[in-house]
Chain A
Amino acid sequence: MPQIHWLALLSFIGIALATVAVGLYATRVVRTTPDFLIASRAVSPFLNASAISGEYLSAASFLGVAGMVMYFGYDVLWYPAGYAAGYLFLLLFVAAPLRRFGAYTLPDFAEGRFDSPGFRRIAVVFVLVIGVFYMLPQMKGAGLTFRAITGAPYWLGVVLVGTVITLNVALGGMKGITFVQAFQYWVKMFAISVPILILAALFGSYGEHFQRAASDAPLVFPRDTTFTIQAGAVLELGAPARFQILSGGPLLGDDGAVYWAGQEVEATPGRLTAAEGATLVFQAGQPAPNAPAGTAWGAPFGRLATSQGFPLLFTYSLMIATIFGTAGLPHILVRFYTNPDGHAARRTTLAVLALTGAFYLFPPMLGTVGRVQLPELYATGHTDTLVLELPGLAPGLVGEVLRAVAVAGAFAAFMSTTSGLMVAVAGALAHDLYARTLRPSATARQRQLAFQFAALGTGAVAILAGLQVERFYINMLVGWAFAISASSFFPLLVLGIWWKRLTVIGAALGTCIGGMSASVAILVTMWRGESLGLLPYSPLDTLLAQPAIWSIPVAFLAMVLGSLATAGTIPADVNIKMLRMHVPESLGLRTDYISE
């Protein structure tokens, strides 16, 4: 019987209400469309950096990394390292010039850089694709978390959280969201650090847990543990185990043995399948079923990299996707507009690096401690909820409070990222598609309505798609969004900002070829049903599952060759554009795209 964690549920309701309340408050101060979409540029750098960090740290960072570290160990560390490194690349190549260019969105940049409304439309398509792809893991996180605290089915969490976010975005726009996201960064930071620090004080240090986690000896339950498995679940025992079946079952051994409820089981190493769902009790010291081996867990080129076929290839392609994908994320780039000038954009990014770096120190620690303290999650298959379950280990009320804190962090994570994405996508639909392309004569009020309708539509799509992705790891889904972004917008930004001779044909070719090939590779992978380790891998499979390592070079190549081939179309005023991007504002050359 799933247990409802009331304090955690209250925590979710609290965060949802606080978010909506701030959003509604913001609508009282929101007047014009620029207000609505931009948020005041007088936002302080600290607030801005907190908001960017809040928006950036999604379900993948908050829930996904720790859960994956618990299961796969060392190789997962590339994900948070890549996410943080992405910000460095954003700083180095994009931050100041993009701000100085004055473009609010990526489609703005696409049109403005080449004076091409046609290219704007292409850019909008990719904003939609990347935005929706990136919303999927957030929806999954929402479904998981809601189920973890109430036992309610996955779809209910997706629908509930999706609806709250959609309404909040449609009503409040971006202004309310800045405050909300800054607040949510600090909730997440608190939630990822305080519970684990308390648990470390109670149960042992990071290093001590690592020794235990990475050792050769079979992983055992640290205390008497009761847990429930679903019908059809498989338990793999690496060592002889003794346990009780409290209820449900029977369990069928691969040697033909049948174990009924009420029985004390003495099982030899092998597999047991649950004919029906069952509740099991293992005493302290008994080996944990389904636990991955310690030495491979703690070392590089473990199960994650090898199950994808070619460890080194997989590792590099993953690194490349996460690092370069950040620079092309539409909801992040929009944030640079809220800085007063280019240098402020750099300094804000520096602060973001500090805030996100500090955050990422904790998930691997959670994964390590979780492996040792909550091995039943291997048996139930719910390692993704580690961050929510681990705080419950603290005794009594402290445990429930910490669990509520963790839940607050989780919801803060997907609410902030999903809101940001939704604003970027709805903004692209309203501002780029509707206002500039379909109906240039639209009034400000009509544009605001368009935004609200677009937000509702996007929310519906996100919820429906989110219901389909339960079987994929959160970080895999994020990795895919990043791969598409890295293969489309990243090359566009880098070459558009730093290479005078990029032409619109070259840029369009590169964006489309890179983005589409990455998307196709990923869709094929998803359709084949890849969840890790299900199928044997050939190099082709690895390259399809992690396309960045080839799709990014393809995009760059297409852009360069396309531009060289159409060199005659380089605009005469390209120097002015370069000037705008690279010259400090004190020399008086700023233009803005939102000027009504």
Chain B
Amino acid sequence: MVQESGERAEPRAAGALLAEDADLEALLIEDDVPLQEVAEQTTYGEIVLEDLIRRQRALSLSVAGAFLLLLFGLPIFNLFFPQLGAIRIQGLPVTWLALAIVIYPVLWLLAYYYVATARKYEDEFTDLLR
């Protein structure tokens, strides 16, 4: 999927999306909100961009955090609940299954969620500025 480059953004009234964020609610919705404003670092432009970056950063941090919680939690689990970890399923202990097998689909699902959500945020941002 290739994005077209070099397109000049069309001015458009920003939608109700802005209203969801208390910071931006105060900003009036003008008819002309060219991308220029973002590039020229005017107040509105800066805020919209920073909002996008903030959302993306929060998304990345929360997915990272969720994963690290699981991963870093495993040694603690192994330390305090070795008997639970040793329960065998099809001959393999639960703790071995977790680290040798289950972790890989979990990683992928978290990644998939991230890709879909990051894209959604970007689409919303793009809509805001067109």
Q: Which residues of A contact B (CB under 8 A)?
A: 74, 77-78, 81, 84-85, 87-89, 91-93, 96, 205-208, 210-211, 214, 298-301, 312, 315-316, 319, 323, 340-341, 343-344, 346-347, 349-350, 353-354, 357-358, 360-361, 364-365, 498, 575-576, 578-579, 582-590
Contact = CB atoms under 8 A, between A and B. Distances in A.
27 contacts: A74-B99, A77-B96, A81-B71, A84-B107, A85-B71, A87-B111, A88-B63, A88-B67, A88-B111, A91-B114, A207-B90, A208-B91, A211-B88, A211-B91, A301-B79, A315-B75, A316-B72, A344-B1, A353-B111, A578-B53, A582-B52, A582-B53, A586-B3, A587-B129, A588-B6, A588-B7, A588-B9
Given A74-B96, A358-B104, A582-B52, A341 B2 contact: yes
Contact of A586 (B46, B104, B118, B126): B126
Interface string B97-123: 001110111011011101100110011
B107 to A, nearest CB: 5
Contacts of A347: 1, 115
Contact of A353 (B71, B108, B118, B129): B108
B118 A346 contact: yes
B10 to A, nearest CB: 11
Nearest to B46: A575
B90 to A, nearest CB: 5
Among B3, B5, B88, B110, chain A packs the most CB atoms within 10 A around the CB of B3
Contacts of A360: 104
Contacts of A91: 111, 114-115
A200 B121 CA distance: 47
B53 A498 contact: yes
B108 A350 contact: yes
Given A350-B115, A586-B7, A298 B93 contact: yes
Nearest to B55: A582
Contacts of B35: 587-588
Contacts of B129: 587
Contacts of B107: 84-85, 87-88, 353, 357
Contact of A207 (B64, B92, B105): B92
Contact of A346 (B38, B90, B103, B115): B115
A587 B7 contact: yes
Contacts, number: 159
Contacts of A576: 39, 41
Contacts of B125: 583-584
Contacts of A315: 75
Contacts of A582: 49, 52-53, 56
B5 A585 contact: yes
Contact of B99 (A78, A88, A211, A584): A78
Nearest to A319: B71
A578 B49 CA distance: 9
A301 B129 CA distance: 54
Contacts of A585: 3, 5
Interface string B74-89: 0100110010011010
B91 to A, nearest CB: 2
A498 B119 CA distance: 17
Contact of A364 (B1, B6, B56, B100): B100
A444 to B, nearest CB: 25
A210 B39 CA distance: 60
Contact of B49 (A301, A319, A341, A583): A583
Contacts of A364: 96, 100
Contacts of B9: 587-588
Contacts of A590: 5
Contact of B111 (A300, A340, A349): A349
A104 B92 CA distance: 45
Contacts of B105: 357
A301 B78 contact: yes
B11 to A, nearest CB: 13
A361 B104 contact: yes
B30 to A, nearest CB: 18
Contacts of A357: 104-105, 107-108
A84 B111 CA distance: 11
A583 B52 contact: yes
Contacts of B39: 576, 579, 589
Nearest to A344: B1
A552 to B, nearest CB: 13
A296 to B, nearest CB: 12
B67 A74 contact: no
Contacts of B91: 205-208, 210-211
Given A301-B79, A578-B49, A588-B9, A81 B103 contact: yes
Interface in B1-43: 1-9, 35, 38-39, 41
Contacts of B96: 74, 77, 210, 298, 364
A364 to B, nearest CB: 4
A100 to B, nearest CB: 10
A300 B6 contact: no
Nearest to B60: A92
Contact of B126 (A319, A350, A361, A584): A584
Contacts of B49: 575, 578-579, 582-583
A316 B7 contact: no
B64 to A, nearest CB: 5
A47 to B, nearest CB: 15
Most chain A CB neighbours (cut-off 10 Å) among B35, B46, B95, B122: B122
B108 A312 contact: no
A316 B111 contact: no
B42 to A, nearest CB: 10
Given A576-B39, A586-B3, A343 B122 contact: yes
A364 B107 CA distance: 18
Contacts of A323: 71
A299 B82 contact: yes
A49 to B, nearest CB: 13
The residue among B6, B100, B129 with the most chain A CB atoms within 10 A of its own CB is: B100
A281 B49 CA distance: 72
Of A87, A315, A498, A579, most buried by chain B (CB within 10 Å of CB) is A579
A315 B5 CA distance: 46
Contacts of A211: 88, 91
Contacts of A208: 91
B38 to A, nearest CB: 6
Nearest to A340: B2
A294 to B, nearest CB: 12
B100 A584 contact: no
A301 B108 CA distance: 27
